[in-house]
Amino acid sequence: MADDKPKVEFIDNPNPLRSKVKVKAGVDATAMIAHAEESVQKLSGEFETIFAESVTAIASAMAEVRQGGMTRERGLVRLRRLLHDLRGQAGTFGYPLVSQVGDSACKFIDLSEDIGDTEVGVIGMHVDALKAISQARIKGDGGPIGQELMNGLRKVILKYNTAGGS
């Protein structure tokens, strides 16, 4: 009967970060966090430039997606990567509206079984929203304009889903 019980095996999970991160003795964690936040604050001033450059690259990838065929596939891979990167950076630097639009576009792409002209249209609306945010220099969550923009994108996706999209 004792043999019927499952045997338990303990596995020591190695910590690869420990070998890569150097911890200085006597350094205050609070000071380290403050230094990191200061660095992020300095970079956040550069985010508008990063955002504008990203929107240009996203628009270029969207043009490839609109061409169709193999160009569409390459463009879609590039577009998805750019949107993913932008949504992460935007959230870090205090642009949650940009992050939300990027997240919505990424999820739409990920959940679409096939990317046809209708799907390209929906993705294009997200790209247009990012262009508008960049051109109008909308910061933060965008206030009422940001809410209206996100509600519009949600309605488009809801209509797409109701119509039997993928």
CATH 1.20.120.160 fits domain 28-162: yes
pTM: 0.77
Cα–chain center distance at 20 = 27
Mean of all residue pLDDT scores within the chain: 88
Model pLDDT, residue 44: 75
Low-confidence ranges of the chain (pLDDT < 50): none
Model pLDDT, residue 164: 79
Long-range pairs for 133-142: beta carbons < 8 A, 24 or more residues apart: 133/97, 133/98, 133/101, 134/51, 134/52, 134/55, 137/48, 138/97, 139/94, 139/95, 140/94, 140/95, 140/96, 140/97, 141/96, 141/97, 142/97
